[in-house]
Amino acid sequence: MTQSFQKVRALTGMKDVLPDTSGQWEALEAVVREWLSSYGYRNMRTPVLEHTRLFTRGIGEVTDIVEKEMYTFTDALNDEQLTMRPEFTAGMVRAAIEHNILYDRPQRVYAMGPVFRHEKPQRGRYRQFHQIDVEALGFAGPDVDAELIVMLSRLWKTLGLTDIRLEMNSLGQADERAAHRDALIAYLEQHKDVLDVEAQRRMYTNPLRVLDTKNPAMQEMANNAPRLFDILGSDSLAHFEGVCERLRDAGIDYTLNTRLVRGLDYYNLTVFEWVTDRLGAQGTVCGGGRYDGLIALLGGKAAPAVGFAIGVERLLDLCAQSAEQVTLPECQVYMIHQSPDAQRLAAKVAESLRDAGLRVIVHAGPAGFKAQFKRADASGATVAVILGADELAAKTASVKWLRVKEDGQDQPQQETIALDRLVTELKLKV
Ligand code: ATP
Ligand code: MG
């Protein structure tokens, strides 16, 4: 007797993409690849697993990700500390350094795929989610910073998204952040009574992050805190203005949000987020910025860089709110057969139809005409091709149109087509 097996479910916060919705993912991925290559970006693929120290160093010890969100474990085979990537940038930079690809010329690169963060699951917040990550390595800007943002605006337009707005800030350079830090810590000390536990813990290690709080009780305190933006020197301001004037050239609206700091430590100068009100609490669809110090921090020869990451689940959610969703049909042609001979012929004809570029399913296994027809309908096919005894004898196929054409043109419900004309006719009509 077989032992009963307790059903296994997916892990909390990790979602399956089923066949009826994967079409939306694939359509988005296709648009994204074309969009990125139109700006000269090339694909890069790095491993999901990396040494933990890459992320603790690259992202920063006192960040949400490193403090509490990483899937880290010890490889039992060789005792190494490993982490499932929580974002792409650190791995992309590691690979660029390791393979010396920044030596001769700068690189425009991108990656798409899953990343992992142990967060409390809710709408727009998962433990395995996907990012489209774009990095311009070796560019000092501000032209490339602006180009990345203009690029994003083009993507939103291509996807038909309108309710998405741009927030910008500058985090200046390390010396400016150091000068601001003392004033900020002094201010936070004066307002210790309103700081939550996390803020109290971070006020000395990463005080800027305290201002990024979502705690409603801390908003007024954060709004009135000394602003890093106000003490930026002329070089940082000129860089920021250089980005903004190019955005104005491109007709892109933005707001200055001086509290925008981003969740990772490595940013300097330009930071930005694209935000929407249509997704509830998790409204940031894309975040990015400049990280001129990271390449050297990870052991490479110093080089400037700028990039962004889009949250794919949030983007798809927003697309679903903004445009009608279409499910990809299983096939265009569904072949129905009524005898073993007809089934073998159907398999042959299907190959010729595929040669002509059509997507075809041949009904598998024996089944009555009615059952096969029901399947044909459920498959979303445009047309059912029926091979029965009469058709076999007459070397014809019965073709039944299952859907009204979008152009509204009249179409016969059913017709008989000679087998040697079938490929040509269907190629023309489907
Ligand atoms: P948040 O403030 O929402 O936690 P973050 O600053 O941690 O965001 P980034 O590290 O900038 O996010 O990641 C880039 C994008 O990835 C975000 O703008 C968002 O669209 C998406 N994202 C981040 N965390 C998650 C998650 N847990 N589930 C789904 N998407 C996410
Ligand atoms: Mg986060």
Q: List for the chain the helix, strand, coil content (%; round to 5).
A: 40, 20, 40
Residue to substitute in 88, 129, 267 for testing ligand 1 pocket (most ligand atoms within 8 angstroms of CB): 129
Q: What is the pLDDT of residue 381?
A: 95
- Ligand 1: which residue has its CA nearest to atom 2? 263
Output the pLDDT for position 205.
Answer: 86
The tokens describing 197, both together, are 């536990």
Predicted TM-score (pTM) of this structure: 0.89
Residues with C-beta less than 6 Å from any ligand 1 atom: 87, 117, 119, 124-126, 129, 131, 263, 282, 284-287, 309, 311, 313-314
The strand pairing partners of 166, in sequence order, are: 274
Which parts of the chain have pLDDT scores under 50?
none
CATH topology of domain 19-172+232-321: BirA Bifunctional Protein; domain 2 (3.30.930)
Q: Is 254 annotated as a binding residue?
A: no
What pLDDT score does 406 carry?
60
pLDDT of residue 103: 83
* pLDDT score recorded for residue 202: 86
What DSSP designation does 383 have?
Answer: E
Residue in 15, 284, 285, 290 to alter for ligand 1 test, most ligand atoms within 8 A of Cβ: 284
Measured CA to CA, the distance from residue 20 to residue 328 in angstroms comes to 7
Atom number of ligand 1 nearest to Cα 87: 10
Closest residue CA from atom 15 of ligand 1:
311
Q: Please, what's the b/e burial string for 177-212 (b: 16 or more CB within 10 A of its CB; e: otherwise)?
A: beebbebbeebbeebeeebeebbeebbeebbbbbbb
The domain limits of the chain are: 19-172+232-321, 333-429
Give pLDDT tens digits for 341-393. 999 999 999 999 999 999 999 999 989 999 999 999 999 999 999 999 999 99
Distance CA 423, CA 335 (A): 13
Return the pLDDT at 409: 63
Give the position of tokens 């798809």: 316
- CATH code 3.40.190.10 for 333-429: no
88 marked ligand binding residue? yes
